[in-house]
Structure 1
Amino acid sequence: MEFKQAFIPLLITSYFVALGVILGGSLLGGLAAFLVGDPPFYWLRRFSEGLRIWAIVAAIGGTFDTFYSFERGIFAGDTKEIVKQLLLILFAMGGAQTGAAILKWFIQESG
């Protein structure tokens, strides 16, 4: 039996999971770089860029459920599912982008 959750809280959760993956992964990676003697701000930026796709995947709960929902939306004519999945992905992308922007602000990088 699949756990059903209200959609708006799911969008908010998706946003903050992606934000947390970017911030947590990048900050801990930067700390590790500092501990081994590498420049931490360089690695903060690299990690925030490299973790974006993984933050989105973590926020949407895995890619197979999303593909299944797209398949159901296309072949079964359930367009509501397609819109829900697209919104979920957009919110996850927004959380990842916000995390990257916070890190750029933190390391005082322009652009």
Structure 2
Amino acid sequence: MGTFLAKALLDFFIAFGVVMGGSMLAGIGAVIALQSPVDTMSHIAEHLKIWAVVAAVGGTIDPIRVIESNFWVGNLSPVFKQLLYIFVSFLGAHLGTEIIHWICRVRG
């Protein structure tokens, strides 16, 4: 169970880091390009979310292959583990997106 939690934690922070890092760097690029960093960062965070999940779980084909091959033989433990890895990665990416939206909110 220790390796499962360790991988899940890594997947969470990888997805979180992809969204946060990509959005922050896009904001720096927007300043250099004389565009609105707030709009750019929010837009990039939304569009990076799915790619952050893909990066965290290690690509799109391998997790799907694990799910498919184990599901049909009735070995559901690896299936649930892969689904949990995907879910935890999504939580990390979503938290990163929400923090970027919180940072970029317009103060009036």
Match of 1:24 in 2: 21
What is the one-letter code of the residue matched to 1:37? Answer: L
- Runs (4+) off by over 2 Å: none
Aligned residues: 106
SS of the counterpart of 2:35?
coil
Q: Distance in 1 between matches of 2:87 and 2:74?
A: 22
Gaps of 5+ in 2: none
Sequence identity percentage: 34
TM-score (normalised: structure 1): 0.90
The structure with more helix, counted as a fraction of residues: 2
Match of 1:74 in 2: 71
TM-score (normalised: structure 2): 0.93
Match of 1:91 in 2: 88
Gaps of 5+ in 1: none
Match of 1:35 in 2: 32
SS of the counterpart of 1:51?
helix
Match of 1:107 in 2: 104
